[in-house]
Structure 1
Amino acid sequence: MSPRRVAIRNHSAEANLFARRTFIAFAVVVLVLLLLFANLYTLQVESFEKYQTRSNSNRIKLLPVAPNRGLIYDRNGVLLADNKPVYSLEVIAEDVGDIKTSIEQVSQLLNISADRQNKFFKSMKRKRRFKPVELHSRLSDQQVALFSVNQHKYPGIFVNARLKRYYPFSDLTTHNLGYVARINRKDANKLEQAGKAENYAATYGIGKLGIEKYYEDMLHGTIGHQEVEVNNQGRVIRTLNYTPPVPGKDLTLTLDIELQMIAKRALSGKRGAIVAMDPRTGGILAMYSNPSYDGNLFVHGISTKNYKKLLESKDLPLINRSVQSGYPPASTVKPFLALTGLEENVITPTTEVNDPGWYQLNGLPNKYRDWLPWGHGKVNLTKAIEQSCNIYFYDLAFKLGITKISDMMEKFGFGDYTGLDIHEENKGIMPSVAWKRARYNKSWYTGETLSVGIGQSFWTVTPLQLTQALTTLVNRGERKIPHLLKAKSELIIESSGNAYHQITPIEYEPRAPLKLRNEKNWDTVLNAMHNTVQKFGATAHKPFKGSTYDASGKTGSAQVARRKQGEKYDAKSTSENKRDNAMFIAFAPFEKPEIVIAVAIENVAKGGGATNAAPVARQIMDQYFGDRVITSQLSKIKAKSPTVIAKTSQEAD
């Protein structure tokens, strides 16, 4: 057996190999550490702000806080639009033990319907368990009290309160104020396009009509924010910062709520509208359309049944007749036509026309009738206005022609928007040759000019337009812009912590005045309107008999349906929707007018403007000048039917 050979280890080579491996490992460790420190430097130094922002966005949330909507008052400080707390019942699922049993018991206690319970459970599935879910949206005071007594039995269920719009006078102010309702998709798109969506992040409602819509930017205010820290589940841990919202501005209107009450009572049981305005400023004192509706129905979301009822009503309560209905003005425009005739030198104050009871154009068989079958005999301009003589104005219209008539009437604002600060307005129709050609592609006929001479044919106006035109007349050409907003106020908080309301009156620039060649023509027409009320036997004398103020006015009866030549009108045998409308315009006092009024009453059963519309204007003026028809008990909103002040055996206009 040969001896075994033993290999001798090279310790030097092994040491060198170990040294090399150690160096490489050390180099790798150093390189990795350098990369790690470089990455830490990038994260902690160079990208600090970026990653801090991202971290904070996960940790810190900005919750929007809705501002309180501005309040609306009448001219005397009576609250017309309030923010009223509405109570809802809400549930945090994770704080409730047996949620099904608890909901059933609470629903039985508060008489909550099965439908609401089903909606709650569906909503609960879409939300996190620590988020509140609404079970009932509008608790009554009785329900709130009942639950408060038993709340200790139901942990995780609580009453929450939020402010909602409330209109204490309900239908009395709806057509002027409009209403606030839930923001829909159309509203959201408009806010997005206008760059205002962020300011409505926590807001559920927006102005839909009237003042609420027109002054939405003023009333809404500016959104606030609550900065909170949340965990990885989105649960709020603590509040870091709070930026309070800026409440909307409070608005004071020119409206007088007591005059509104009188207007409602005077129109009780009738379809029509009343507009009363201060001719010195253009401020609307009263503007009421009957029938109306309760804007509070829309604040919380009107039911399909109630909305269908409003839509299908033959009385059209959704229409604001003061500014949206087109009424033939009838004889109320005769003073304006008389002024046109004087200005164009077609007539003088002493020009006489013989009135046999009819008017006929040469060569034509048609006869245009006066309201008095046997006529008024010889009449001059003043008597024609006092007695509302149609024949005089047929003749005047024929001499003027439609072009001169329409040109002057447009200067009084007919056929155009008044500029009132609500969006819902109809500009009416002031017919002309060009208008008929554009509308019907037909020629203008002389017979149509005669009808325009007594405020008929295609001519339509709104009661507000009549009020605006009368304001220009009594101001002898000075034109005012009708408006509802009188002043705005906002809450000012000083650095010292003191707070006060800064009230800013709104100033309105008058439009370019209407100049006449002969300023005496104003007096001629206005004196005739004064006689119409003050002179015994004139058309508007009886309704204002015994008044303590010096009123002036003009009556009118507007034919609604066509009648055959020679056909006698009988209201009793005529269907209601084809009966005549009663119209009236008035102002007082005569020397320095403080109030102008236009009244329109639809489809009257008997009589015309003197019997139906003039007594309504009388009630408004009685209230304004102190012959009080009602007191200041604002809680008594519901009104009784007006008493008939005057009856005439023979009705003129």
Structure 2
Amino acid sequence: MWEQSFRDKSAEIRLFRSRAIILAIVITLMLAGLGWRMAHLQITLYDKYQNLSENNRIKIQPLAPKRGLIYDRNGELLAENVPTYSVTLVPEKVPDIEETLNFLDDLIGVSERDREQFERRRELRRRPYDPVVVRHKLTEDEIAKVMVNRNYLPGVDVEAQLVRHYPQGETFAHVLGYVGRINQREQNQLDADPDTERRYSASRYIGKLGVEKHYESDLHGEPGYQKVETNARGRITRVLEQVDPIPGEDITLHLDARMQRLASQLMEGRRGAVVAIEVKTGGILTMYSNPGFDPNLFVTGISHKDYNALRDNPDLPLFDRSIRGRYPPASTLKPFLGLGVVDMGVASWSQTINDYGSFQLPNSERVYRDWKRQGHGKVDLKRAIVESCDVYFYDMAVKMGIDRIHPFLQSFGFGQRTALDVDNTYSGLLPGREWKQATRRSHWYAGDTVNLGIGQGYMQATPLQLATATAVMANRGKWVAPRLMLSHSGDTTIDESTTPPDVVLNNEKNWDRMFNAMQNVVEGTHGTARALLRKLEHPIAGKTGTAQVVGIAQDAEYDSEALRERLRDHALFVAFSPVDDPQIAVATIVENGESAGRTSAPISQALINLYLGGGEGE
């Protein structure tokens, strides 16, 4: 009763109404703000959010071009692309990478090497959300296991791609080189140029060595792209638009796969190199270094174990002896020096010296011995070439002098890089006064000239240089610089502006007379390569050489049995054939092979027979 008397119902009603009005106003304002916001988002910002929505649903993916193929001169495939399936992972879409890798290990097997390579590829990614390969070369059964479990593997997918493959394996490893994953240094170089960055936007591999590197720009091709629609998990549901990539250009090389395989067979168990050049074109027919390696190991990433095994091998399988091996040319230099002797009038073909087995400079106690202890007796230039008389060339080198020897030998390419499309070649070493002063801080002495006279001392040449000089000799001084590329599906041409000038003799007949002397090295009764007569199918002009690895005392004899195998003399042989119209020039070096007539010369002969005869050689 007392409560009711104190309540003011009209006041309560007014309070309620005012509160309701205020609440209604607030709700109206909130609804108006929400409506305005919705209108602003859907009308004013329509274009912006439509683009964001489309970009979230639709993505542009670059497509890698198919790499150009490489063929030999007869159309045999040397480098191809093989399809393979890989399991990939996008780190940004994976909640727990370690757990996912363990799950994949249970499903298909992920080795420690795979994990190691995955981490390396992950570090080298160009941009976020790029997929990283976990494992290459999945089988159909492994693909099925991954696809069945896709719902439990967010960010994981199976990707088809073309991977480089070298069907010839070790046989062409050094000359072709290989492709490998783009590393950080290469990536920085690519990103520095917008055009190059675009070209490699979808590429993971690049040429690392050899032909693959030199012709990278031609072999690579141009990328394409596809516009795809994706679901909430980022998986592609359909392709909306596609522009196909332009494949790289195919290349045909002068190399002859039959000759390369034959060189590999004949060099088995030996260390050394063989280079054969087509005289008229300069085409490199064979460029083989032994031992080699399997380039396929490097394509998708070589393991530390495999790389360490190659790196630590004392036979140096990663070292390309054909272009980087530097050897004293030894007696293979004598035909070139002999040409200079007669052409400059230092001596005539008929002029003789008496060889008693040794040579001494005036006022010097140093004795320079001939390989034949008792000497060769009366010797002219032809006999000095045929029997490889050291004393004759000691004497003639001193009479000719370094100031005339150096430029004459240089005209044949010694001490220079002359190959047009072979990278990483060494220039060898053609010593002279300026070189010795600059590198040894010493004058050039007559004794240095004596050693140079038989291709020893400071002088060094690579097998490619020896083959090149022999080809120039066979071509009667006409220079056609060595090259690997025979033809190209594009419009690339080789720049020949750096080719040296032709070697012009004062008397052109000296070419023929030297050819005859070199032919007698093989066919003469006392020729140092007369062992080739047993299998002589085509007339060969050649010259043997024996390069010392270690010096021996002046009064001591060379004792093969007393030396460790790796300290024995190198065996060299240069040759060209046929003699009357040379087509092929060959240089062969067998490390520690000692007798060129028994080791390097038969290898050269077999390659010549195969090239000229068309058979499989012996």
Report the CA distance between 1:382 and its aligned residue.
0.6
Q: 1:567 aligns with which of 545, 556, 560?
A: 556
Report the CA distance between 1:150 and its aligned residue.
5.6
Q: What residue identity is the alignment partner of 1:66? A: A
Q: Does 1:548 align with 2:554?
A: no
The change in CA–CA distance for 1:105 and 1:457 in structure 2 (over 3 A counts) is closer
**What CA RMSD, in Å, does the superposition of the two structures yield over aligned residues?**
3.6
The change in CA–CA distance for 1:165 and 1:235 in structure 2 (over 3 A counts) is closer
CA distance in structure 2 between the partners assigned to 1:119 and 1:554 by the alignment? 50
Report the CA distance between 1:122 and its aligned residue.
13
Match of 1:480 in 2: 480
Match of 2:142 in 1: 147
Q: 2:591 aligns with which of 592, 595, 602?
A: 602
Match of 2:182 in 1: 183
Match of 1:62 in 2: 60
Q: 1:86 aligns with which of 77, 84, 92?
A: 84
Instruction: Point out the more displaced range, 416-425 or 156-165.
Output: 156-165
Report the CA distance between 1:239 and its aligned residue.
3.8
1:323 aligns to what SS in structure 2? helix
Match of 1:77 in 2: 75
Q: Does 1:622 align with 2:617?
A: no
Instruction: Point out the more displaced range, 242-251 or 417-426.
Output: 417-426
Match of 1:222 in 2: 222
The change in CA–CA distance for 1:507 and 1:533 in structure 2 (over 3 A counts) is farther
Report the CA distance between 1:608 and its aligned residue.
2.1
The change in CA–CA distance for 1:117 and 1:306 in structure 2 (over 3 A counts) is closer
Match of 1:161 in 2: 160
CA distance in structure 1 between the partners assigned to 2:278 and 2:528 by the alignment? 25
Match of 1:466 in 2: 466
Q: What residue identity is the alignment partner of 1:78? A: E
Report the CA distance between 1:319 and its aligned residue.
1.0
The change in CA–CA distance for 1:90 and 1:260 in structure 2 (over 3 A counts) is same
Q: Indicate if the aligned counterparts of 2:84 and 2:161 stay in contact, CA closer than 8 A.
A: yes
Q: Indicate if the aligned counterparts of 1:544 and 1:615 stay in contact, CA closer than 8 A.
A: no
Q: What residue identity is the alignment partner of 1:589? A: P
Once the two structures are superposed, residues 245-304 of structure 1 have per-residue CA deviations (whole angstroms, 9 ceiling, x without a partner) of: 110001101111110111111111111000011001000111100011111111111111
Q: Indicate if the aligned counterparts of 1:116 and 1:135 stay in contact, CA closer than 8 A.
A: no
Match of 1:451 in 2: 451
Q: Does 1:591 align with 2:580?
A: yes
Q: What residue identity is the alignment partner of 2:602? A: P
Report the CA distance between 1:62 and its aligned residue.
2.7
The change in CA–CA distance for 1:147 and 1:361 in structure 2 (over 3 A counts) is closer
Instruction: Point out the more displaced range, 106-115 or 208-217.
Output: 106-115
The change in CA–CA distance for 1:211 and 1:135 in structure 2 (over 3 A counts) is closer
Once the two structures are superposed, residues 193-247 of structure 1 have per-residue CA deviations (whole angstroms, 9 ceiling, x without a partner) of: 3441221111001000000000000000011122345689977665443211110
Match of 2:3 in 1: none
Q: What residue identity is the alignment partner of 1:145? A: E
1:322 aligns to what SS in structure 2? helix
CA distance in structure 2 between the partners assigned to 1:216 and 1:393 by the alignment? 46
Match of 2:33 in 1: none
Structure 2 unaligned blocks of 5 or more: 1-35
For normalisation by structure 2, the TM-score amounts to: 0.84
Q: Indicate if the aligned counterparts of 2:101 and 2:110 stay in contact, CA closer than 8 A.
A: no
Once the two structures are superposed, residues 4-56 of structure 1 have per-residue CA deviations (whole angstroms, 9 ceiling, x without a partner) of: xxxxxxxxxxxxxxxxxxxxxxxxxxxxxxxx9xxx9xx99xx9999998897
1:556 aligns to what SS in structure 2? strand
CA distance in structure 1 between the partners assigned to 2:610 and 2:69 by the alignment? 26
The change in CA–CA distance for 1:222 and 1:170 in structure 2 (over 3 A counts) is same
Once the two structures are superposed, residues 316-368 of structure 1 have per-residue CA deviations (whole angstroms, 9 ceiling, x without a partner) of: 11111011011000000100001111121101111101111111112211111
> Could you tell me the percent identity over the aligned residues?
41
2:285 aligns to what SS in structure 1? strand
Q: What residue identity is the alignment partner of 1:63? A: Q
CA distance in structure 2 between the partners assigned to 1:504 and 1:185 by the alignment? 29
Counterparts of residues 249-398 of structure 1 (less than 5 Å):
249-398=249-398
Once the two structures are superposed, residues 596-632 of structure 1 have per-residue CA deviations (whole angstroms, 9 ceiling, x without a partner) of: 000011123xx422222111112212222337446xx
Q: 1:611 aligns with which of 579, 590, 598?
A: 598
Q: Indicate if the aligned counterparts of 2:113 and 2:303 stay in contact, CA closer than 8 A.
A: no
1:80 aligns to what SS in structure 2? strand
Q: What residue identity is the alignment partner of 2:610? A: Q
Structure 1 unaligned blocks of 5 or more: 1-35, 491-502, 631-641, 643-653
1:67 aligns to what SS in structure 2? coil
The change in CA–CA distance for 1:48 and 1:438 in structure 2 (over 3 A counts) is farther
The change in CA–CA distance for 1:103 and 1:452 in structure 2 (over 3 A counts) is closer
Once the two structures are superposed, residues 492-520 of structure 1 have per-residue CA deviations (whole angstroms, 9 ceiling, x without a partner) of: xxxxxxxxxxx988796764211111111
Q: What residue identity is the alignment partner of 1:75? A: R
Q: Indicate if the aligned counterparts of 1:487 and 1:504 stay in contact, CA closer than 8 A.
A: no
Q: Indicate if the aligned counterparts of 1:415 and 1:427 stay in contact, CA closer than 8 A.
A: yes
Report the CA distance between 1:60 and its aligned residue.
5.4
Counterparts of residues 103-252 of structure 1 (less than 5 Å):
107-108=105-106, 110-113=108-111, 136-139=134-137, 144-147=139-142, 153-156=148-151, 159-195=158-194, 196-228=196-228, 239-252=239-252
The change in CA–CA distance for 1:346 and 1:538 in structure 2 (over 3 A counts) is same
Once the two structures are superposed, residues 72-107 of structure 1 have per-residue CA deviations (whole angstroms, 9 ceiling, x without a partner) of: 1111111111111222235799999x9999987764
Report the CA distance between 1:488 and its aligned residue.
1.1
The change in CA–CA distance for 1:174 and 1:122 in structure 2 (over 3 A counts) is closer
Instruction: Point out the more displaced range, 383-392 or 509-518.
Output: 509-518
CA distance in structure 2 between the partners assigned to 1:484 and 1:119 by the alignment? 34
Counterparts of residues 410-429 of structure 1 (less than 5 Å):
410-429=410-429
1:405 aligns to what SS in structure 2? helix
Counterparts of residues 5-44 of structure 1 (less than 5 Å):
none
Match of 1:514 in 2: 503
CA distance in structure 2 between the partners assigned to 1:122 and 1:359 by the alignment? 62
CA distance in structure 1 between the partners assigned to 2:370 and 2:92 by the alignment? 82
Q: What residue identity is the alignment partner of 1:396? A: M
CA distance in structure 2 between the partners assigned to 1:615 and 1:569 by the alignment? 23
Match of 1:5 in 2: none
The change in CA–CA distance for 1:319 and 1:103 in structure 2 (over 3 A counts) is closer
Q: Indicate if the aligned counterparts of 1:90 and 1:132 stay in contact, CA closer than 8 A.
A: no
Report the CA distance between 1:109 and its aligned residue.
5.2
Q: What residue identity is the alignment partner of 1:80? A: L
Q: What residue identity is the alignment partner of 1:188? A: Q
The change in CA–CA distance for 1:481 and 1:50 in structure 2 (over 3 A counts) is farther
Report the CA distance between 1:134 and its aligned residue.
6.4
For normalisation by structure 1, the TM-score amounts to: 0.79
CA distance in structure 2 between the partners assigned to 1:120 and 1:262 by the alignment? 39
The change in CA–CA distance for 1:364 and 1:504 in structure 2 (over 3 A counts) is closer
1:416 aligns to what SS in structure 2? coil
Q: Indicate if the aligned counterparts of 1:544 and 1:618 stay in contact, CA closer than 8 A.
A: no
Aligned residue pair count: 567
CA distance in structure 2 between the partners assigned to 1:115 and 1:599 by the alignment? 39
The change in CA–CA distance for 1:100 and 1:396 in structure 2 (over 3 A counts) is closer
Q: Indicate if the aligned counterparts of 1:170 and 1:296 stay in contact, CA closer than 8 A.
A: yes
CA distance in structure 1 between the partners assigned to 2:119 and 2:473 by the alignment? 66
The change in CA–CA distance for 1:116 and 1:402 in structure 2 (over 3 A counts) is closer
CA distance in structure 1 between the partners assigned to 2:511 and 2:445 by the alignment? 30
CA distance in structure 1 between the partners assigned to 2:395 and 2:116 by the alignment? 74
The change in CA–CA distance for 1:149 and 1:190 in structure 2 (over 3 A counts) is closer
Instruction: Point out the more displaced range, 81-90 or 281-290.
Output: 81-90
Once the two structures are superposed, residues 146-172 of structure 1 have per-residue CA deviations (whole angstroms, 9 ceiling, x without a partner) of: 336667753547643211111111111
1:407 aligns to what SS in structure 2? helix
The change in CA–CA distance for 1:81 and 1:475 in structure 2 (over 3 A counts) is same
The change in CA–CA distance for 1:463 and 1:364 in structure 2 (over 3 A counts) is same
Q: Indicate if the aligned counterparts of 1:387 and 1:538 stay in contact, CA closer than 8 A.
A: yes
